[in-house]
Amino acid sequence: MKDINDILAMAQNVQEELTKAQEGLDTIEVEGASGGGLVKVKASAKGRVISLSIDDSLLVPAEKQMLEDLVVAAFNDARAKADAASSAEMAKMTSGLPLPPGFKLPF
């Protein structure tokens, strides 16, 4: 069994690495789309929305409900891609850590 100081040092190192990884997630961009690309949402892997693009052809008052549905779908697509990118980055970061089997990080 390792000395308690070794375990504490390892835990502190893990915390520092996780903090760096979390900060890095905000620099990874994903794009969600709907309506065949007529509505696009750019977001960071951390979930911050960066931009929204709506094709001019959708700006018809009579089609308001459809536009709203497409915006929601694009946001959901971006969120799913952000979650996937975040999971992939965290998996890369934790792959070399000596974590006990079944240990799940709070992300």
* pLDDT > 70? residue 75: yes
CATH number (domain holding residue 80) = 3.30.1310.10
CA dist 72 and 55 (Å) reads 15
| Domain contains 15 | yes
| Domain contains 103 | no
| Domain contains 102 | no
| Interval 30-68: pLDDT, tens | 999 999 999 999 999 888 899 999 999 999 999 999 999
Q: Given this model, what pLDDT does residue 8 score?
A: 81
| Domain contains 107 | no
Which residue range is the domain that position 50 belongs to? Answer: 4-94
Place of tokens 């709070």: 106
Share of the chain above pLDDT 90, in %: 47
Domain count, the chain: 1
* pLDDT > 80? residue 95: no
| Domain contains 34 | yes
| Best-predicted range by mean pLDDT (13-17, 21-25, 28-32) | 28-32
| Domain contains 101 | no
* pLDDT > 60? residue 82: yes
Three-state SS letters, the chain: CCCHHHHHHHHHHHHHHHHHHHHHHCCCEEEEEEHHHCEEEEEECCCCEEEEEECHHHCCHHHHHHHHHHHHHHHHHHHHHHHHHHHHHHHHHHCCCCCCCCCCCCC
| Domain contains 39 | yes
